[in-house]
A and B are shown apart, each in its own frame.
Chain A
């Protein structure tokens, strides 16, 4: 289907008109509305025959062309406003085409320039410029994790204090192995979470510690990565994308 290849390259109705004009080897100023309309409609018809969805812009242009043509065909009974309108819309079209052609040609020049000049490479600023934006620390030391844990424990302690004095029957704490299994399962469905969120369900100190140890284990296994956007900020925990 050679048609499809030819037809698809038009960026819009103006592009198509320019193509028709250059094929007819005429100046834009000399276009015959009758001829160009016929050719334009032929192309649109071909497009539809080949089941190419014709963009509404193409149809609007077709309507405009037909309008100009029909006005020109009608006997000029009252030379006046109407006649001027027709001349105007033809002029408008020519002006639009000229304007569009100007930028189309400019874009060809730009294309050549980009091809050549985009082969220039520059380097990023030296890293000593630490910007105020997100400081991405990909490798967080264990110390920082411990700090975060301490903060967490403190806040939990606070909560515990506030809790009413009721004796709680505790379930046997889960083992680290079980928690690792739980976390792995959790990360299967959630790609990333935050440090504080992970401990939301942990009520007791033992629970927190076990989750934390499990987290360290997962980190050691390279199952997860941790990131902190700013000092003392919440630590984001992400599952490392595995090949599997």
Chain B
């Protein structure tokens, strides 16, 4: 099996899965080690980009997914005959930013930074699938800890949390 075959198989797996596929699963299926599989996926990504294909391979926390390109969204929406849902409110974005950069974080910690209650915005973000409960803090009352999801990464064009735009800490 040469590299082209492996890429083709990986592509078909990504197509059938639809959802993000773990690198480990791809490596196991192709009978190669993960380091090699990662290289393969990277060159596949480049290949898709170079050929300016309508689909792209996106990496999310070490998982890979086949997706359309954002620059084509207008045409796709026209085809569906429906526009994207509402974008997030300012309050929700603020809350999301705090959770994204400081996760895992409790609701009261978010409240403290924003200076207002965040119950509503947190439930909006949970409903959107951008954040989820990640556990409980080891402090009195064992408050719920929140963190971001893979959907958050995807809809904000991030491969991992490391790709979050840097924020000024020294000002």
CA distance A172 to B12 in the complex (A): 65
Select B155's contact among A11, A105, A114, beta carbons within 8 Å. Answer: A114
Which residues on B sit within 8 Å (CB–CB) of A174? none
How many interface contacts (CB-CB < 8 Å) are there between A and B? Answer: 126
Task: Please tell me if the beta carbons of B96 and A110 are within 8 angstroms of each other in the complex.
Answer: yes
Across the interface, which residues of A come within 8 angstroms of B101, CB to CB? 103, 106
Interface pair B94/A99, CB less than 8 Å apart: no
Give the CA-CA distance A122 to B17 in the complex, in Å. Answer: 10
A122 and B150 alpha carbons, distance in the complex (Å): 13
Which residues, 65 to 90 on B, are CB-close (under 8 Å) to A?
A: 65-74, 76-77, 84, 87-88, 90
Chain A residues whose C-beta falls within 8 Å of the C-beta of B68 in the assembled complex: 119-122
* B71, closest chain A residue (CB): A119
Complex Cα distance A124/B65, Å? 11
Q: Which residues of B contact A116 (CB under 8 A)?
A: 70, 157
- CB pair B113–A122 under 8 Å, yes or no, is no
Shortest B78–chain A CB gap in Å is 12
Give the interface centre of A104, A123, A125 by most chain B CB atoms within 10 Å.
A123
Q: When the two chains form the complex, which single residue of A110, A121, A128 contacts B100, counting CB atoms closer than 8 Å? A: A110
Find B115's partner among A9, A57, A108, A117 (CB 8 Å cutoff).
Answer: A57
Q: With both chains docked as a complex, state the minimum distance between the C-beta of A116 and any C-beta of chain B, in angstroms.
A: 5
Report the minimal beta-carbon distance from B76 to chain A, rounded to whole angstroms: 6
**Contact for A100 among B17, B65, B69, B114, CB less than 8 A:** B114
Binds A, one of B28-36, B45-53, B163-171: B163-171
CB of A119 within 8 A of CB of B65, answer: no
Which A residues are CB-close (under 8 A) to B156? 110, 113-114, 117-118
> How many B residues touch A, CB cutoff 8 Å?
46
Report if B8 contacts A (CB, 8 A). no
Asked if residues A9 and B113 are in contact (CB atoms below 8 Å), the reply is no
Check A96 for interface membership: any CB of B closer than 8 A.
yes
Please state if B90 and A120 are interface contacts (CB–CB under 8 Å): no
Q: How far is the CA of A105 from the CA of B165 in the complex (A)?
A: 11
- B157→A125 contact, CB < 8 A: no
Contact B115 A107 (CB under 8 A): no
Which parts of A50-88 form the interface with B (CB within 8 Å)? 55, 57, 61
B16, B71, B114, B157 interface centre (most CB from chain A within 10 Å): B114
A96 to B88: give the CA distance in the assembly, Å. 24
Answer yes or no: A12 CB below 8 A from chain B CBs: yes
- Bound Cα distance A125, B17 (Å): 5
Residue of B71, B115, B154, B169 with highest tally of chain A CB at under 10 A: B115
* A-B interface, 3 closest residue pairs, ranked by CB to CB distance from nearest: A119-B73, A117-B157, A12-B116
- B interface residues, Cβ below 8 angstroms from A: 15-19, 58, 65-74, 76-77, 84, 87-88, 90-91, 93-94, 96-98, 100-101, 113-117, 154-158, 164-165, 167-169, 171
